A and B are shown apart, each in its own frame.
Chain A
Amino acid sequence: MDFNDTPEEAAFRAEVRGWLDANATRIDPNETGSYEMFSENDGDDVVKQAQAWQAKKADAGWACITWPKEYGGRGGTIMENIIFSQEERNYHTPQNIFGIGLGMAGPTVMAHGTPEQKAKYLPSLLRGERIWCQLFSEPAAGSDLAGLTTRAERDGDDWIINGQKVWTSGAHYSKTGIIVTRSDFNAPKHKGLTYFIVDMEAEGVDVRPIKQMTGGANFNEVFFTNVRIPDADRLDEVGNGWAVSITTLMNERMSIGSGFALGPDRIFEEFNRLAQNTYVDGIPAVENHAVRAKIAELYSRMKAMELTSNRVLSSISQGKAPGTESAVIKLAMGALNQEIAAFGMELQGNLGTEHGPQSVFNNGLFQEVYLGIPAMRIAGGSDEVQRNVIAERELGIPQETRVDKGIPFKDIPSAASR
């Protein structure tokens, strides 16, 4: 057990801090928190600021620390990447809208792409010049992702794509996408899929934002009508799309820990601020035993999650593949954040119903979390999917009896009926 940096890590951290000090403004710990992580403002100006920051990082070699140098990365370690994120979090920086490209699409292209594809796509992805989105879910294929029906048909050197994707984060500002399609309806469910890189500006791609309960519209429906994708943009073999998709989803698991912008100490500070200025039975809430015990409980639950995240990061840094901990963390964080938000609002009484940055307490943080978290419990796999992952992979409990294995996809009742 050693929580200190090694001498090399300490030197790296100092270098990172030096660069950040010179290029960004450090967050004053006393300033009232804003809730940037839940902000749904992703207009052109936000995208441009994000791209400028990413390019600046790329020029200095910080953009993709673990990527090989030949694609513009630093060839650094996972631990160095973690250190950079830990430090960057302490500075005012633009919203990071490159997570899907850098964390999921890039590693997938690296694992399955041809040399030509890597040379063509990775440098501009890394610099943030082209933002990427992930086109997986469909209206009738959510948790049952492999049941997707977006059709890919070969036509000479091209493929023609028809169908609909949904819940596509950032599609409205993305220039490139990764898409998994069904190229063979006669093959069994998981065998008939093919994976492509798609130009989001191609003719026939129609992006329609989905307005959410927060008021923002970060997710989209994306319709494909006779969209042509050159065969040169196919990733891996025809019919091997499921394996490529798994690579993408595994990399999603590696991006664990990034959801801790509101870690236990920050939450505690926000609650402290709130409980100093709200009252229960005429005395400050901070002096009410039940209030104190509840906040102490929420804090310790959050602390356990943070420590678990650190434990996973430590294990990843030693070269071990993450287990089911990311499912555990995702499952717990959704419900925990909802409790935190609800209790924060409760302490404010009627004022807790105000929404927006002009709210009396905490710039409306708890309200924003309250409205934002329901999406988090679904995105990237619902609570039930996470429970299945934990039960099947960690506890060795058998899968549900499957009626869709080994038979042609077109003969599966639910699929054939569409």
Chain B
Amino acid sequence: MEFGYSEEQKMLDESIRRFVNSEVPLDRIRELVLEGTGYDEKIWSGLAELGVLGVLIPEEFGGAGMGFLDATIIQESLGYVVAPAPFLGTSIMAPTAILAAGSDDQKNKWLPEISSGNLKVGLGLTEVTGARENAGVSFSGGKANGKAMFVIDGECADGYILAAGKDTLVWVAAGAAGLTKTRLNTVDNTRGVVELVLDGVEAELIGTQGGEAAAVQKTVDAGRTALAADLLGTSQRMLERAVEYAKERKQFNRVIASFQGLKHTCADMAANLEPCRAMVWYAAHCQQEIADEATLLACQVKSHLSEVSTPIANDTTLVHGGMGFTDLMGLHFWFKRIGLSRQLLGSPEAVREEAAVLQGWVAA
């Protein structure tokens, strides 16, 4: 048994951490959030130079040919600095969908462009993870109609992969005739989430019509597992900031960390977060190596990380006293990212219900 990073993965982790810590400063996030595109050319081209945008893409399509655990290592670091970068949609979900359902032509057309950073992809899986009335996309005769809600990484995207129903995937180019994009102002805004209205938009089928339920599920699983890794990074940074602040801030002539009430709050956050790491690793491992457990673990890790991260967001803010909720401190960007990640691709309750069904929970 070897439950941990390989030497190569440790190096990847170090290099991506070095990059985000130097290239994603808080001041830049402050500006980018106002823009709300979830994208920064400098960060994105830096990631392209590191060669990580094609982490899940085989070398024959210009990718790095690494594994899913490597992808979560990168996503965790992006979460750690709340990076506005469309990595989740473009580098994790889109390649998963294309590799699972796409033709060779499609793979050749899109995957090298994703690897090089030239093609950014938004993902719209409305009906799969929480449809609402009047939402949903239909596809026939080469045209897509309907409404795609909460398209992940959609604001900066050059193209979209949309689920039409639960078993069909289509590609729609940004700016196509009949396509209306509206940016959604979310609690977060480090991600550019949009709503798309499609009125007879030209669309390209990925795989077969009605035959891609497994590819859709695989894409959702990949997205949920990556969101869990993102939450792990975001929460880890919040915890660190809570501890850093508590060791500096003095009241009653003592650093506040020395008060057991606060010390134990920090310990509880660490105790709740620590076991998440092994779970993220295992869920990532399952995405690639253990097909039978991939969906279940994706559900579990997404719901678990969401539930652990929410109180960390709250308690870290509390530890900072009045400063916690000021813009000056910037802590709120982490707080907000947790708020969005928790909901995307299914809130904990909804995802748990899926897990229960997967585990065969029906009356005998």
Interface residues of A (CB under 8 A from B): 1-5, 9, 79, 268, 272, 275-276, 283-284, 286-287, 289, 292-293, 295-297, 299-301, 303-305, 307-308, 310-311, 313-315, 317-318, 325, 327-329, 331-332, 384, 386-388, 390-391, 394-398, 400-401
Other-chain residue from A284, A325, A387 in contact with B363 (beta carbon distance below 8 A): A284
**Given A3-B3, A391-B264, A397-B258, CB of A300 within 8 Å of CB of B278:** no
Complex Cα distance, B271 from A395, in Å, reads 11
Complex Cα distance, B247 from A283, in Å, reads 53
Give 10 closest A-B pairs by Cβ, nearest first.
A292-B356, A314-B3, A387-B267, A307-B278, A300-B300, A296-B352, A304-B275, A284-B363, A390-B267, A308-B275
Q: A402: shortest Cβ distance to chain B, in Å? A: 11
Other-chain residue from A268, A276, A301, A329 in contact with B304 (beta carbon distance below 8 A): A301
Binds A, one of B30-38, B57-65, B145-153, B279-287: B279-287
- Scan B52-71; emit 1 where CB is below 8 A from any A CB, else 0: 00000000000000000100
Complex Cα distance, B188 from A53, in Å, reads 60
In the complex, residue of chain B having the shortest beta-carbon distance to the beta carbon of A309: B278
**Given A314-B3, A401-B258, CB of A1 within 8 Å of CB of B69:** yes
Scoring B2, B5, B275 by chain A CB atoms within 10 A of each residue's CB, the highest score goes to B275
A sample of 9 more A-B contacts (CB under 8 A), given A304-B276, A327-B271, A328-B274, is: A3-B1, A4-B1, A9-B1, A275-B361, A307-B278, A314-B2, A315-B4, A390-B270, A397-B243
**Residues B3 and A311 in contact, CB atoms below 8 Å apart:** yes
- Would you list 20 pairs from A and B whose C-beta atoms are within 8 A, ordered by A residue? A1-B5, A1-B289, A295-B356, A295-B361, A296-B355, A296-B359, A297-B352, A299-B355, A307-B3, A307-B282, A315-B4, A317-B1, A328-B274, A391-B263, A391-B270, A394-B267, A396-B243, A397-B243, A397-B257, A400-B260
Q: Which residues of A contact B254 (CB under 8 A)?
A: 401
**Given A1-B4, A401-B258, CB of A311 within 8 Å of CB of B271:** no
Residues B206-260 near A (CB distance < 8 A): 243, 246-247, 254-255, 257-258, 260
Complex Cα distance, B307 from A394, in Å, reads 22
Q: B251: shortest Cβ distance to chain A, in Å? A: 14
**Residues B361 and A272 in contact, CB atoms below 8 Å apart:** yes
Residues B313-364 near A (CB distance < 8 A): 348-349, 352-353, 355-357, 359, 361-364
Scoring B2, B5, B364 by chain A CB atoms within 10 A of each residue's CB, the highest score goes to B2
**Residues A325 and B274 in contact, CB atoms below 8 Å apart:** yes
**Residues B363 and A308 in contact, CB atoms below 8 Å apart:** no
Other-chain residue from B270, B303, B352, B364 in contact with A328 (beta carbon distance below 8 A): B270
Q: Which residues of B contact A3 (CB under 8 A)?
A: 1, 3, 285
**Residues B275 and A292 in contact, CB atoms below 8 Å apart:** no
In the complex, residue of chain B having the shortest beta-carbon distance to the beta carbon of A310: B3
Complex Cα distance, B266 from A391, in Å, reads 7
Complex Cα distance, B256 from A397, in Å, reads 10
Other-chain residue from A5, A329, A395 in contact with B270 (beta carbon distance below 8 A): A395
Q: A193: shortest Cβ distance to chain B, in Å? A: 26
Report whether over half of chain A's contact residues are helix, strand or loop; otherwise say mixed.
Answer: helix
Interface flag for B134 (CB, 8 Å): no
Residues B156-186 near A (CB distance < 8 A): none
Complex Cα distance, B299 from A304, in Å, reads 13
Q: B362: shortest Cβ distance to chain A, in Å? A: 7
**Given A391-B266, A401-B258, CB of A307 within 8 Å of CB of B279:** yes
**Residues B356 and A305 in contact, CB atoms below 8 Å apart:** no
Q: Which residues of B contact A386 (CB under 8 A)?
A: 267, 271
**Residues B279 and A292 in contact, CB atoms below 8 Å apart:** no
Q: Which residues of A contact B362 (CB under 8 A)?
A: 286-287
Complex Cα distance, B1 from A291, in Å, reads 35
Complex Cα distance, B276 from A391, in Å, reads 18
**Residues A397 and B304 in contact, CB atoms below 8 Å apart:** no
Q: A382: shortest Cβ distance to chain B, in Å? A: 12
Complex Cα distance, B1 from A310, in Å, reads 9
**Residues A388 and B263 in contact, CB atoms below 8 Å apart:** yes
**Residues A396 and B247 in contact, CB atoms below 8 Å apart:** yes
In the complex, residue of chain A having the shortest beta-carbon distance to the beta carbon of B359: A268
Complex Cα distance, B226 from A179, in Å, reads 51
**Residues A313 and B1 in contact, CB atoms below 8 Å apart:** yes
**Residues A293 and B356 in contact, CB atoms below 8 Å apart:** yes
Q: A131: shortest Cβ distance to chain B, in Å? A: 32
Q: B135: shortest Cβ distance to chain A, in Å? A: 22
**Residues A384 and B264 in contact, CB atoms below 8 Å apart:** yes
Complex Cα distance, B359 from A286, in Å, reads 11
Q: Which residues of B contact A305 (CB under 8 A)?
A: 275
**Given A300-B303, A310-B1, A390-B271, CB of A293 within 8 Å of CB of B352:** yes
**Given A276-B364, A301-B304, A398-B258, CB of A308 within 8 Å of CB of B355:** no
